[in-house]
Every structure is written in structure tokens, then in C-alpha cells.
Structure 1
Amino acid sequence: MLRFLLLLLLARLQSCNPRPPNHLPEEESEDVRTEALKRLLEVFGIEDPPRSPHHIKQPPQYMVDLYNTVAGADGITKDPDILEGNTVRSFLDKIHSDQMHFLFILSSVAKNERILTAELHLFRLRTKVPQGPMYMRHHFCQVSVYQVLDKNKLESSEGKKLLAAKLVALQGSGWEVFGITQAVRDWMEEDSSNHGLLVTIRGLGGAPVDPTVVRFASGRDHHESKKPMLVLFTDDGRRGAALPVSSLPDLSPQTPELLAEPLAPAVARVRNARSVDQFLPCQRQLLSVDFEEIGWSGWIISPKSYNAYHCKGSCPFPLGENMRPTNHATVQSIINALKLSQGVSSPCCVPDKLFSINLLYFDDDENVVLKQYDDMVAGSCGCH
């Protein structure tokens, strides 16, 4: 797979002007491999590959369902407007208390990420409503979520700030969602201010409610699929991320040491095939990216692989509409055909439409992240 990645990098530089293969020592070949994987991580906005979870861990069903809503099985985005921002992060409660006090560690959120929306997801357990005058008259109670300001003053207004409140039916079960965006923004500005969240349940008149009537799953005693969860919708500002050609090794004939010897036969095969394919028209062809072969399957949940496609073929004169040429490419092909200017090559077969893909993966803290990446799949090819 490393050989494939390097060929992919070489193809960016040699798509229109192939050069003869060169060789380099084994230790420098390893440097090229390391650089190739480093560049691939940069495309995905990751500094280092996250560690695989220490044990078999199931991602929150909410994140799996969100991924399936946003993307197909191959990770390709169904509709770019479905997702708010380009990143969704989920965090599980770290206190694991049976009380309604929750703490979420946000250290994995990058400082450059803009917080768009933050939600507290609590799973309400099915309970039996007791008999009594109050429960006969009122069918709802109020659930309030507070930002903890001082853990030692929770009984007073100085120790907490109201973030959200909603009426909840006394009977029923399932997920309840509360907006807590401002609290998360405060924590991102000053992480030492993160003392967690407090949830209270009161009757409609402010009267206390039997704690057995309305119960939420805690982080300690309940199945992972029902644990309290914080969900962040953010945007990291990355748009159209691509490998900068200027930062890749110069593979010109003047630097023969930069091409690994083990790759030379494969590169030669590519070039031999090019001589055959030069008569084929510009078209889209398969290009599989398999995360298991790269060694990333331990932390990537979905997709396990995707088809990036690539563009291959010639752009001969005259360029027809089926070649999807730009006006510039049409003029260039005419100049090249008439030999009106030296050094002008024929247009190149390149992607003219690109689609985004989505990755669902575990980060270093075993939180689950859904991230959307622009310009990752060649949707169609044309002569440019």
C-alpha cells in the first residue's frame, strides 16, 4: 500500500510530463515512505495516527446513524448541506457518577475549531409513575441543565448558571437533547473553567419530584449505548484540502536520489502502460484506497475503504465536448497541434468535479469523531 501511495504522489507530478525512473538508497526510501504517510495524514487533518481503542468498543449509535445519514457506505457525501460545519465530535461522561453531575473532557478539540452547536444527550430510563394527587394532576416535570461554576456552591445561584430547561412527560423513555453551546464556548476559552454540568428535576411548581419517577442513565451503571454524551458540531476551517505540489520532493532527473529503488519497477510498469493508454480518451478509472492496507483500520470505523477514482487518457486534437475541455485547454490543444509555440504540450486529463468523503473514527481519547473532507473523490474527468 505504501508503494501505491508513493505512486499516487508521483502521478500528481508526472501526469503530463513523465520522467525516467531513478534510484535511491534504502534508508532514503524509508524517508520517502514516511513522508508519504505524513502527507496523507495532513490531508485528513491529523498530526499522528490515533491509537486503536484498548478494547473492542462500539461507537455511539447516534454517531453511526449520523454517518449513515450524511454519507453512503463508501463514505461519499450524500448532500453537502446536511452536516453543520465539517466535524462532529462525541464525548462520554468522565465522572461516571450515579448523580446528575457530568464532566466531559474537551482536550481533543483543536483551538482553531469554531464551535457551532453543542448538545447534551441524556437517555431517559423507563420508570413507573407512582400514584398520588400530584402525579394525577400534572403529567410533566421540568428538567434543567446548569453549567457548574463552583462545585462547592451548587445549592446557591452563585455555583451554577442555567443553560437549558424543558418540560418532560412523566411517562416515557428515550433520548432527551439539551442545547449547551455557550458553556462549551466558555470552556474552550478557558479550560480550567470546565467543572461540568448539573441536571435537576422539579415539578411544575418547583416542588421536588420523586427521583424514581424520572431517571436518566448514568455513566457508571448503564450500557454504553445509553451513557450521557456531549455532541459538538464544529468547523475547522479546512476547505478543499489537497497535497501542495510545491512541498513534495522534486523528482526531476537532476535529483536521481529521490526515487526509491523498490519503486522503480512499478513506476516503469506505469510508464509502459502510459504508452498504451495514450491513445485512450480522457476518462475516469478506479482508484481504491483501503485503510486496512495502510494500517489505519484499528481506529477508522467507517468506511473501511473508498474509491477515490483517478483520471487517465489522452486529450488529442481536436477536443470534443465529451472531453469536457475548458476554453484554455481548447486553445492550448490548437497551439500544440499547429506547433505554433515550442514547449507547449497537449492538455492534461484531470478531475473537473470533486466530491467530499466522510470518516467516522476514534481519536486518541477514544471519542468518536465524524469528519467531512472536501475534494477527495474524482467525480468526473476533463481536459484542462
Structure 2
Amino acid sequence: MLMLMVISFATSVRTVAARPSVNNMENHFTAGNESEEVRLAAIKRLLEVFGMDDPPAIHEHKQPPQYMLDLYNTVADVNGVTKDPNLLEGNTVRSFFDKLHSEQVEYRFNLSTVARTEKILTAELHLFKLRPQTKLALNQHHFCQVSVHQLLDTSRINNTQEKKLLSSRLVSVHSTGWEVFTITQAVRSWTSDEGSNLGLYVTIRTLGGSQMDMNLIRFASGRNHHQSKQPMLVVFTDDGRRSTALENTGESDFTTTPSLPYAPLSGSPSRSVRSVDYREEDGMSLPCQRLPLYVDFEEIGWSGWIVSPRGYNAYHCKGSCPFPLGQNMKPTNHATVQSIINALKLIKGIETPCCVPEKLFSINLLFFDDEENVVLKQYNDMVAGSCGCH
């Protein structure tokens, strides 16, 4: 509930952008009693919810890799809400572009943004295979052996071995498109010892073991080809965050996520039509229900680095939990007993149960980090899926 209150507070403000400009600094609260100090504290707390100390730099003109866009659309609906928690391995996916930009088959990736505390689950090297430049020997070779090696520091291991085989498989000579190689072992060693990251080396050989003609088998490089075809490393990790909602609810809870607010759980239609707010003048209110609470990342000033979604509906719970509590209000046993004690006035000062989120869903954010890497991250307990009296 505290997190939702912070979001509600933050969304009511037209705040500074990720890297504040002069114009953005002129923004302020319309309410006279809200201070700049409180606003900054609210934004800082919201960043902490998303696991950040500061907002990343703005990369408005950068295009995310199509693979990351497709992955986001696979795991999230149009509002960013997780379709199924089992679709994504871990809770974080990062894409890295090659830093060497070499014309040769050698690649290096900067993994400094991956924390040592994160568990490396899977790492994949994505290479785009181009069409052959020559038809020479096409009829002689239909497949080739592509192998990915980890480059080693021979002075540290004290032997003559210069590279370590990570992945190897047959690739069609005639094909074009993405080829994916699993290199998890190398990435785990690089994240535990940054100095061991000397890069990767790819060899291409005929089935007989001889060197392949480089005009026949070519992979796109970062130097000569469009960003959409550049060599890319994709790393799946888990940062150790757990969701109580995930642990306490069944898989079926995530199969559908309503896009509209729940109807009131009880109460007369006439009262529902008149107002969705408390009627303080007569002490009456609507029963516990779920109401919209839209978080607009553009209003917060984060649209420059967040790719998707542009915002999401967190929803919030509001309403009364009057005696007697019916099962449609999803009360806990404790709430039922508390409502009885309150109704009978057996103990002075006992309030009615509170209307709170009964089920929570996760959302997915696709964004650029400070190194221009595109990150897909799943955040637990961000959307009130239903409300109940607790």
C-alpha cells in the first residue's frame, strides 16, 4: 500500500525529466503545501521501487533490438502486465552490443552493468548470418561448423591454450538470419572476474575441418552493418527479488488480467451510479472495490528512457468493509472476527477491516540503461489485481 501511495503521489506531479532541463526545473506543485523537497523524495522513492539510484540517461533516438521488443511483447500485455510468470527465465534480460566493431570474427561486450549479486541463468550470442558474396563452392558445401570460443589470458592460466570452446554446431551455408549460441559459462566467469573478459572468437570450418571461405560464410559486424543486424549478447539473470503474491497464489491467477475496474462488490446500483467516492456528509461509502490509478511515465519525466509501456494502471483499493462481511469481499478469517467485534462494540477502539489489494500482479519495463543497453525487467507486486477486506 505504501508503494501505491508513492506512485499516486508521483503521478499527480509534472516532474523533471530524467536529466533535468531548464524548462523542467520550472515545474512545481500546484498545491501550495507541497515542497520541492517532498517531490524529490517521492521520485527518489519511486526509483528505488524500480531498483535504481538515478534515472538512466535519455536515448530518445535509439532503436531497441527487435529481439528485445519481441520478447517484451511475448511476456507482457499492452499495459506491461505479465501474461504468465513462467514465460520469462529469471526477472531481468539485458542486451549488449559488441564494443570491438571488428570486421573479423572477434567480439567483446561490456558487462559492467550486471551486478555480481545477480544469478546468471542463460547467456546467448546472437549473430546475423549474411547472404554469401560469392556463389563459388556453394554446390560443394551445404553446411559449415561454426564454433564460439572464449579468449583466455595465457599468462594467468600458465599454459599454451589461448581459447576455450563454448558452443559449436552446424549452420546451413545457404541460410540467412539470426544464429544463436549459448555461452553461459563464459559470461559467468566474466561477471565474477571482470578482468577475465577478453572477448569471444568465432571459427568457421568445413565439415572436413579446413578453414571456410570468408566470402561464403559471413556474419554482420558492428562496423559495416545496420544496428538491427549487429552482434548482440543477451543475458538472462535473476536479481533475487521474490514476490509474496507469486508464492501465495496459483498459476491460474495470472492467466487473465482484467483491463477494466472491478464492479462494486455489493451495494445498491443507485449508489454506485451516483459516485465512486466517499459520501462524507452522511458517513456512507461504497463497499470495498478496485478503482483505476494510472501511472503516466511521461508525466513523471521518464518517457525518454522507458521504451514500453508508456504507463500502466496500478489500480487502488477503496471503500468500506461493513458488517456482515460477505464472501464477495474476500475477507480473511481475522477480518471477519474483527468486523464482528466492531459491530458488537465488544472492545472499544476496534475499527472495521481495511479495503486492501487481495491479489497483486507484476509488470514489465523495457528501457535503456546508461550504457545504451536495452533491459527488460520484471517488477513484482505492482498492480492490484483484486481487492478484499483484511
Q: One fold, TM greater than 0.5?
A: yes
Query: Residue deviations 1:200-254, cap 9 Å, x none?
Result: 1011111111101110000111011000000000000112399xxxxxxxxxxxx
Find 2:174's aligned residue among 154, 164, 171: 171
Partner of 2:35, secondary structure, is helix
Q: 1:315 to 1:61 in 2, by over 3 A?
A: same
Q: 1:182 to 1:240 in 2, by over 3 A?
A: same
Q: How many residues align?
A: 334
One-letter code aligned to 2:80: G
Q: Distance in 2 between matches of 1:221 and 1:151?
A: 31
Q: CA deviation at 1:157?
A: 6.0
2:349 matched to which residue of 1?
Answer: 343
Write out aligned runs for 1:138-217 (5 A).
138-150=141-153, 158-217=161-220
Find 2:234's aligned residue among 211, 231, 255: 231
Query: Residue deviations 1:84-133, cap 9 Å, x none?
Result: 0000000000011111110100011112111000000000001256344x
User: Is it true that 1:283 corresponds to 2:289 in the alignment?
Assistant: yes
One-letter code aligned to 2:83: K
User: Is it true that 1:71 corresponds to 2:76 in the alignment?
Assistant: yes
Q: 1:274 to 1:216 in 2, by over 3 A?
A: farther
**Quick one: percent identity of the two aligned structures?**
66
Q: CA deviation at 1:28?
A: 8.3
Q: Is 143-152 or 86-95 further displaced after alignment?
A: 143-152
Q: 1:277 to 1:296 in 2, by over 3 A?
A: farther
Write out aligned runs for 1:331-370 (5 A).
331-370=337-376
Gaps of 5+ in 2: 1-6, 14-30, 246-275
User: Is it true that 1:81 corresponds to 2:105 in the alignment?
Assistant: no
2:117 matched to which residue of 1?
Answer: 112
Find 1:122's aligned residue among 111, 119, 127: 127
Q: CA deviation at 1:29?
A: 2.3
Q: 1:309 to 1:275 in 2, by over 3 A?
A: farther
Q: Distance in 1 between matches of 2:34 and 2:93?
A: 38
Q: Distance in 2 between matches of 1:142 and 1:274?
A: 75
Q: Is 26-35 or 328-337 further displaced after alignment?
A: 26-35
Q: CA deviation at 1:170?
A: 1.0
8 Å Cα contact 1:170-1:213 kept in structure 2: yes
One-letter code aligned to 1:103: R
Q: Distance in 2 between matches of 1:278 and 1:184?
A: 60
8 Å Cα contact 1:6-1:33 kept in structure 2: no
8 Å Cα contact 2:82-2:362 kept in structure 1: yes
8 Å Cα contact 1:241-1:373 kept in structure 2: no
Q: 1:27 to 1:283 in 2, by over 3 A?
A: closer
2:304 matched to which residue of 1?
Answer: 298
2:54 matched to which residue of 1?
Answer: 48
Q: 1:345 to 1:115 in 2, by over 3 A?
A: same
Q: Distance in 2 between matches of 1:274 and 1:187?
A: 61
One-letter code aligned to 2:351: S
Query: Residue deviations 1:125-145, cap 9 Å, x none?
Result: 01256344xx54541110010
Q: 1:31 to 1:168 in 2, by over 3 A?
A: same
Partner of 1:344, secondary structure, is coil
8 Å Cα contact 1:352-1:382 kept in structure 2: yes
Q: What RMSD in Å do the two structures reach over aligned CA positions?
A: 2.5
Write out aligned runs for 1:231-270 (5 A).
231-240=234-243
Q: Distance in 2 between matches of 1:342 and 1:160?
A: 76
Q: Distance in 1 between matches of 2:39 and 2:244?
A: 21
Q: Distance in 1 between matches of 2:281 and 2:358?
A: 23
Q: Distance in 2 between matches of 1:124 and 1:308?
A: 42
Q: Distance in 2 between matches of 1:50 and 1:274?
A: 43
Q: Distance in 2 between matches of 1:371 and 1:59?
A: 14
Q: Distance in 2 between matches of 1:119 and 1:3?
A: 40
Partner of 1:65, secondary structure, is helix
Q: 1:166 to 1:274 in 2, by over 3 A?
A: farther
8 Å Cα contact 1:151-1:195 kept in structure 2: no
Q: Distance in 1 between matches of 2:283 and 2:66?
A: 46
